[in-house]
């Protein structure tokens, strides 16, 4: 079946995910072996049930052993990835996550709504003055950049630089985003290292300051797994949190705009009834999930849907496929803002469920509420362009015409 689709090849995703092929594979080969050039291949896990099973068994399917991308990393990069919460296995994952969890709770995040709405209105006011905008970088990118910058107390002068590094961290295979680096792996090694060094330097500078009342105070003041973090630890943590908070949020919102433009009748419904926006955000996350997959590595011999998996095998959970599983959603290929319940897996499930889920949902809801109430006219002003990436399901440009009347 390897001739059906090459899921490792970033060129396969340039025109959009290969949903027709993934549908056929869910029917015939739901745990699909994918060869890779110059290194071992991987098992692509394509159904909702199997992705949930892998997610809920973090000891059997390790994030830490080989990292979370399908490309095998060199020892230095793998060591850095293992120090990110995203890639930690239990019990270390729980020990690092627990001190941060209260700051990302639904109650605390709800208190950020006024600030997020103020940021969004300011961004859209600038867009209204221009009329014709490139949505990815000129408009949407500013929202998570400002939210994350304020949350961590990062200097405003550094926000744009950090957003650019975050984009390269997930989209390093695109020559427009990463013109000077290797295009073989999903993330760019140089950008990840630059952000880690920045985080180390920022941590060192903050240790010399009085508390600022932000999340960095928590990170520097709390114990994680029985010890305080070093500057290098903080650098690794910031790589993950800034990247997830910036680039994946942009991907979600821009993908949502594109989905609504493809379905103008549902766009009109949201204008008429803004109370539908929260479940529309869930459908956007299902239909245009920000990341195609995350990898795990089997720690012992096992099986998935009757397919033997050997100890040491790479296992990739394909959210792009699982989120359209016909066994879970009726008419699963259709975009439908009325789906309820909607057990989409874009935030993961189980122990590694996204720490920033409440912030992402709030940013999505507020942005669409403000966008639709501000602009009666939202129209394409050119062809959107997708990112060349086997990891990031993103647009790198989306020209739009916005009008307030």
Helix H or strand E encompassing 405: none
> Residue 57 falls within a domain, yes or no?
yes
Helix H or strand E encompassing 359: helix 357-374
For 213, residues 6+ apart whose C-beta sits below 8 A from its C-beta are none
Strand partners, 403: 377
Structure confidence at residue 2 (pLDDT): 44
> Residue 5 falls within a domain, yes or no?
no
> Residue 268 falls within a domain, yes or no?
yes
> Residue 33 falls within a domain, yes or no?
yes
Q: Report the C-alpha gap between 275 and 335 in whole angstroms.
A: 18
pTM above 0.85, yes or no: yes
> Residue 209 falls within a domain, yes or no?
yes
For 205, residues 6+ apart whose C-beta sits below 8 A from its C-beta are none
Range of the structural domain that residue 299 is part of: 10-403
Q: Report the C-alpha gap between 350 and 55 in whole angstroms.
A: 6
| Under-50 pLDDT residues of the chain | 1-2
> Residue 2 falls within a domain, yes or no?
no
Q: At residue 400, what are phi and psi to the nearest 5 degrees?
A: -130, 155
Helices (H), 83-226: 92-97, 106-110, 113-130, 142-152, 159-170, 189-207, 215-221
Q: Are 283 and 336 in contact (CB under 8 A)?
A: yes
CATH code at position 51:
1.10.630.10
Structure confidence at residue 187 (pLDDT): 64
Q: What is the DSSP string of 23-76?
A: HHHHHH-SEEEEEETTEEEEEEE-SHHHHHHHHT-TTTEESTTT-SSSSPPPHH
Q: Are 54 and 304 in contact (CB under 8 A)?
A: yes
Total domains in the fold of the chain: 1
Q: Report the C-alpha gap between 383 and 381 in whole angstroms.
A: 7
């Amino acid at each position: 079946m390897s001739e059906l689709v090459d899921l490792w090849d970033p060129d396969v995703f340039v025109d959009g995910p290969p949903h027709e092929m993934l549908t056929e594979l869910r029917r015939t080969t739901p745990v699909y072996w994918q060869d890779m050039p110059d290194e071992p291949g991987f098992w692509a896990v394509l159904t909702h049930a199997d992705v949930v099973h892998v997610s809920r068994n973090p000891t059997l399917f390790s994030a830490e052993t080989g990292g979370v991308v399908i490309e095998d990393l060199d020892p230095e990069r793998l060591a850095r990835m293992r120090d990110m919460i995203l890639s930690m296995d239990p019990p270390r994952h729980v020990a690092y996550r627990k001190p941060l969890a209260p700051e990302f709770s639904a109650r605390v995040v709800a208190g950020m709504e006024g600030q997020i709405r103020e940021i969004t209105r300011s961004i859209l006011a600038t867009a209204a003055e221009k009329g014709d905008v490139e949505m990815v970088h000129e408009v949407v990118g500013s929202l998570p950049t400002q939210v994350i910058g304020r949350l961590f107390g990062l200097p405003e002068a550094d926000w744009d630089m950090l957003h650019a590094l975050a984009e390269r961290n997930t989209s390093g295979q695109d020559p427009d985003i990463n013109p000077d680096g290797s295009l073989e792996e999903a993330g760019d090694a140089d950008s990840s290292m630059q952000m880690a060094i920045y985080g180390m330097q920022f941590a060192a500078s903050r240790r010399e300051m009085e508390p600022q009342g932000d999340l960095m105070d928590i990170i520097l003041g709390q114990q994680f797994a029985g010890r305080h973090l070093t500057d290098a630890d903080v650098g690794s943590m910031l790589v993950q949190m800034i990247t997830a908070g910036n680039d994946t949020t942009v991907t979600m919102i821009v993908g949502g705009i594109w989905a609504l433009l493809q379905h103008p009748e549902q766009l009109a419904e949201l204008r008429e009834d803004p109370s539908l926006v929260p479940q529309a955000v869930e459908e956007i996350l299902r239909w245009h999930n920000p990341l195609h997959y995350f990898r795990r590595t089997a720690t012992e011999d096992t099986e998935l849907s009757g397919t033997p998996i050997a100890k040491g095998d790479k296992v990739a959970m394909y959210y792009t496929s699982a989120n359209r599983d016909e066994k879970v959603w009726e008419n699963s290929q259709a975009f439908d803002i009325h789906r309820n319940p909607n057990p989409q897996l874009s935030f993961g499930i189980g122990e590694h469920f996204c720490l920033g889920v409440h912030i992402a949902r709030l940013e999505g809801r507020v942005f669409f509420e403000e966008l639709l109430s501000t602009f009666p006219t939202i129209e394409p002003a050119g062809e959107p362009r997708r990112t060349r990436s086997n990891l990031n399901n993103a647009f790198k440009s989306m020209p739009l015409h916005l009008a307030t009347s």
